[in-house]
Every structure is written in structure tokens, then in C-alpha cells.
Amino acid sequence: MHEPRGRMTKDGIRIYEDADFAGMHAAGRMAAQILDEVAQLVTPGTTTAAIDDFIRGRVQELGAVSATIGYRGYRHASCISVNHVVCHGIPSPKLLNDGDILNIDVTVILDGWFGDTSRMYVAGTLGRKAERLIEVTHEALMLGIAAVKPGNTFGDIGAAIQAHVETNRMSVVRDFCGHGLGRVFHAPPNVLHYGRPGTGPVLEEGMFFTIEPMVNLGRPETKVLADDWTAVTRDRSLSAQFEHSVGVTATGCEIFTLSPADRFHPTWG
């Protein structure tokens, strides 16, 4: 094994080198491509287990490894979180119903680099409230990404997300956050999706991390079910999430997990 290149900040955040962006782009693009392909499978009458089987097969065919299989005892190639499930939904043989909204989260390891992304899908007809929730959550992610540049802080990212969500009378989940990644799945810092401008670690060129806001139509509180994974809204309100992996550049950031088919949002393409 070679020593990792680059250095570490005082907050324990790794600074990667210019050459490392290429590996992250390849891994991120692959995860995003698989999410593009999955879109055609999401219909009423299919199961999230069938979707996960497809994802597992594609990760293998494309020459990558699933980061989630075997991670802390998790056994699936994706997390699929339906309706009031906030995150870490376990693929299951239960049928999807018309109007269900779901987040599918895939992380691949390609040549040692981690690509982590998730997005929302709709089975059949999209309801009005669900549509608003998905719209606001997507906008919140993109506003968070717009705050990524050297000199800004992680608090600026969280504040941008929180302001947009709360202006729209929805709530930001506090119990889960984004994370540093690169040659590892989860590394410092915790990327909070709420906060105050100017607080938290300062962003530097070469930091790689995810932004993955979870937004609820009702209250922010969550609980984890007896399976030790599935996180749900305590008030059973609908929840949505989008996730990108990004790398800080001299002037802003690059998104590693852009959709090759431009299908990141369920009403696109």
C-alpha cells in the first residue's frame, strides 16, 4: 500500500491533489449513470429489491465494487427510501404503489475512489405536495453547492440549505449529514445541512465531500426502526433527499456525480 497523497487540515479534512479529481469524476459518473439507468425500472408494481438487484448487477458489470455491501453489516447495493423513510431504507419485496416517491442512494468504489450520489424517483403519478417537496429539496442541494468555494465555510453551505427549506415551510433533518469522502467512504467533516454563515471549518481547494440534504414536509425528527437501519420521520410526513459528491476547486467546485443523461431530477428527461 502507498501512503495517501496530499495533506490534512487542522480539522482532520484531507486535501487531495489535482490529479485525484479524475478518479473521483470516474467513480461519481459511474454511480450517476447507474441511477440514470434505474429510472425506467421505477414503476408501480415493481419492488425495491428488484431495483437493488439491478444496481448490484450493473456495479459489477461496469467493473466497480459496491461500497455498501458489507459496510457495517449492510447487505445491499443501494439504500431505497420510500415516502416517509428519510434514509437508509433497506430494499424489500414490497410492491411500489402509484404515487410513491423514493430516494435511491448508490455508492460505488472504482479504482479505490468512492462515488456517492442519490436522487428522487416517482412511481406513477406525482402528487402536488410530493412535487413541491422534491423541488425544494433539489433546489436546497443546488444552493448548498453554490456556496462551495475556498474561503467560505461549511456553515455557509448549511445556512443556504436551511434558509431555502424553511422559507418554504419545510424542515431540514438534523440527525444525518453529508461527509468527507475520497479514498474512503465516510471521513471528516460532518457536512451539516443547517447552520450559521461563517461558522465551521473553512473550505479549501482539494476537499472532497458530499452534500445530501434530507427535507421533511412535517417536523425534522426521525427515528430508526428495529432493523437498525431504516430512518423514518417521527410524524410520518413525506421526506426527500438528493446527494452529490463534490470537489473544491480554486474558484468553486466540480460535481463528481452529474447525471450523464441529465436525469438528476425526476421531472427531467
71: partner contacted, choices ligand MF3, Co ion, none (Cβ within 5-8 A by kind) = ligand MF3
Pick the stretch among 88-96, 102-110, 148-156, 250-258 that binds Co ion (CB under 5 A).
102-110
Q: How far apart are CB 259 and ligand MF3 at their closest, in Å? A: 17
Residue 79 interacting entry, from ligand MF3, Co ion, none, C-beta within 5 to 8 Å by type: ligand MF3
Q: 21 touches which of ligand MF3, Co ion, none (CB within 5 to 8 A by kind)?
A: none
Cis preceding linkage at 189, omega within 30: yes
Closest CA to 154 of 200, 214, 209, 204: 200
- Tell which positions 32-91 bind ligand MF3, by CB under 6 A: 68, 71-72, 74, 79, 88
Q: Pick from 81, 210, 230, 237 the residue near Co ion by CB under 5 A.
A: 210
| CA–CA distance, 91 with 80 (Å, rounded to integer) | 6
Q: Among ligand MF3, Co ion, none, what binds residue 68 when CB lies within 5 to 8 Å by partner kind?
A: ligand MF3
How many CA atoms lie less than 13 Å away from 135 in the CB half-sphere?
9
Q: Do residues 229 and 88 lie in contact, with contact meaning Cβ atoms separated by under 8 Å? A: yes
**Nearest in space to 199 (alpha carbons), one of 252, 138, 155:** 155
Q: What would the x/- binding string for ligand MF3 be over residues 227 to 246, using CB under 6 A?
A: ----------------x---
188 residue type, one letter: P
Compute the least distance from the CB of residue 81 to ligand MF3, in Å. Answer: 10
**Minimum gap (Å) between residue 119 Cβ and ligand MF3:** 12
Grid cell for residue 115? 462515488
> Does residue 52 contact residue 77 with C-beta atoms inside 8 Å?
yes
| Closest C-alpha to 106, from 114, 97, 98, 94 | 114
Cα first-last separation, the chain = 43
* Residue 116 in the binding site for Co ion (CB under 5 A): yes
> What whole-number distance in Å separates Cα of residue 208 and Cα of residue 100?
33
Residue 222's binding partner among Co ion, ligand MF3, none (Cβ under 5 to 8 angstroms by kind) is none
Task: Convert residues 165-204 into a mask of x (bound to ligand MF3 by CB under 6 A) and - (unbound).
Answer: ----------------------------------------
Q: d(Cα 127, Cα 105) in Å, to the nearest integer?
A: 22
102 makes contact with ligand MF3 (CB under 6 A): no
Binding site for ligand MF3 (CB under 6 A): 68, 71-72, 74, 79, 88, 105, 107, 116, 210, 212, 243
